[in-house]
Amino acid sequence: MPSSLWSSTSPRSRRNHVIKTSTTTRTLGLVGALALAAAGLAGCSSDSSGGDGDAAAADGGTYTWWDPYPQHDDGSDWGKRVAACGTDAGVTLERTAYDTTALTNQALLSAQEGTAPDIILLDNPAVSTLSDTGMLTTTDELGLDISDIDANLIAAGQLGDDTYGVPIGANTLALYYNKDVLDAAGVDPASISDWADLTAALETVTAAGNKGITFAGIGTEEGSFQFLPWFWGAGADLAELDSPEAVSALTLWTDWVTDGLAPNSVISNSQNTTWEEFLTGDFGFAVNGTWQINSAAEAGFATGVITIPAMDGGAAPAPTGGEFITAPVQKDEARYETTKKIVDCMTTTDGFVETGNTFAFYIPPTVAGQEQILAEHPELATWVDAVAAAKGRTSDDLGTDYPKISEQLWTAIQEALSGSATPADALTKAQEAAESALS
């Protein structure tokens, strides 16, 4: 039997994170988190004041907001929407935008210095990193109603019995296809329901003179991200990287490359370069996400999309992307009442749909939101299905253990695709390295 990453001495089982009513008595375990996110800290700074009591009164004044959207300035639809939620709550929102990595690093530094903003929008895997330090309030503490949020999406923000923040939407992966290529080969995408069907379709496409499938197998988090639908779709668990199910998934990718159904370039492909390959018009399929919907519509050929199939049929769980709206701990707890109003403004059904439209079709995290966006954009039906089957990378209470596991997973992918190790040997080595990293 493959050994499990979980043991009585794992970091998660040793975690002793107690939320106290008085936030001034919280202990922030920031040293380890800052080390984990050290890359980029030196270049991060902010001229925004912290939200912990001296900037404004709880019933007015200025509240601070950080998000990972520097491409959207304050005059954009997004910037205006953020400002409007502040106005509705009776305050001015001072917004600062960082890129995703810098935002996490700056948030950790602000907690250490006692200058955390009132609200941060975090990439969902970062929620565990920040909540593990004790710097985030829980949804219960803030009085947020999360009962309508899809369980598979809210899970990315949960550790143990606590939930930290609310997803503002989700994106994920699916299979884009080139309709012209498939039509020429006589392949019906609707007939693809499992791995055997997909492999047969790739063989038919390549026999007709085109290329089969492209994906991102790069040795970074993007490689793990793109592999997870196949990994989870085989029934594998991140606690057992060397399970027979995991080996089946990596064997699938490796066989596609060996058999010429996927190009050798996948070993170095990012998600962007994968998409560039697909846009040449030579490939039948490409693994990519909702963020390419507009680009696909503008391609020089007809495109479509299907969910990534699980090994034995049905939609595979693909990893979720997207941000959570979170509220850092403040010394002045009276601020939370207004913070809650701002969060509530962003997380109504209309708010979720507006976010979905603003960010190239984030899928709302509630049934009501999904129904509303489908009424406006029925072409998103496949993406709603994909999000319904999706899974957070830090789910299963992995939390801050996930990055250590993911690094070993993408390393195994590289070794198998390069031919330097068999899938089984690469994953055995990955499991041993992950256990060592977590011990």
Per-residue pLDDT in tens (0 to 9) along the chain, 439 residues: 222 232 222 323 322 322 222 333 343 344 344 333 432 222 322 233 334 433 333 456 999 999 999 999 999 999 999 999 999 999 999 999 999 889 999 999 999 899 999 999 999 999 999 999 999 999 999 999 999 999 999 999 998 899 999 999 999 999 999 999 999 999 999 999 999 999 999 999 999 999 999 999 999 999 999 999 999 999 999 999 999 999 999 999 999 999 999 999 999 999 999 999 999 999 999 999 999 999 999 999 999 999 999 999 999 999 999 999 999 999 999 999 999 999 999 999 999 999 998 887 899 999 999 999 999 999 999 999 999 999 999 998 899 999 999 999 999 999 999 999 999 999 999 999 999 999 9
CA distance 399 to 223: 19
Is 384 in contact with 370 (CB distance < 8 Å)?
yes
Name, in order, each residue with C-beta under 8 angstroms of 57's C-beta and a sequence gap of 6 or more. Answer: none
Sign of CA dihedral 407, 412, 418, 421: positive
CA distance 431 to 439: 12
The CA dihedral of 284, 287, 291, 292, to the nearest 10 degrees, is -10
Task: Please report the pLDDT score of residue 255 as a whole number.
Answer: 98
Distances (CA, A) of 68 to 13, 96, 338, 367, 409: 31, 9, 22, 26, 26
Task: Please report the pLDDT score of residue 77 as a whole number.
Answer: 92
The residues pairing with 66 across neighbouring beta strands, listed in sequence order, are 96, 120
Task: Please report the pLDDT score of residue 13 as a whole number.
Answer: 30
Task: Please report the pLDDT score of residue 60 as a whole number.
Answer: 67
Burial class (CB in 10 A: 0-12, 13-18, 19+), 176: buried
Please give the backbone phi and psi of residue 136, each rounded to the nearest 5 degrees, phi first. Answer: -110, 140
Task: Please report the pLDDT score of residue 397 as a whole number.
Answer: 87
Is 327 in contact with 136 (CB distance < 8 Å)?
yes
Of 334, 267, 388, 429, the closest CA to residue 118 belongs to: 334
Task: Please report the pLDDT score of residue 101 as a whole number.
Answer: 84
- Give 241-297 as a DSSP string: TTSHHHHHHHHHHHHHHHTTSS-GGGGT--HHHHHHHHHTT-EEEEEEEGGGHHHHH
Distances (CA, A) of 427 to 244, 249, 284, 409, 413: 10, 11, 29, 7, 8
Task: Please report the pLDDT score of residue 211 as a whole number.
Answer: 98
Task: Please report the pLDDT score of residue 39 as a whole number.
Answer: 29
CA distance 343 to 326: 8
At position 319, the amino acid (one-letter code) is P
Structural domains in the chain plus CATH codes: 14-170+322-383 (3.40.190.10), 173-318+398-438 (3.40.190.10)
Task: Please report the pLDDT score of residue 424 as a whole number.
Answer: 98
**Which position has the token pair 């996948």?**
266
CA distance 374 to 59: 38
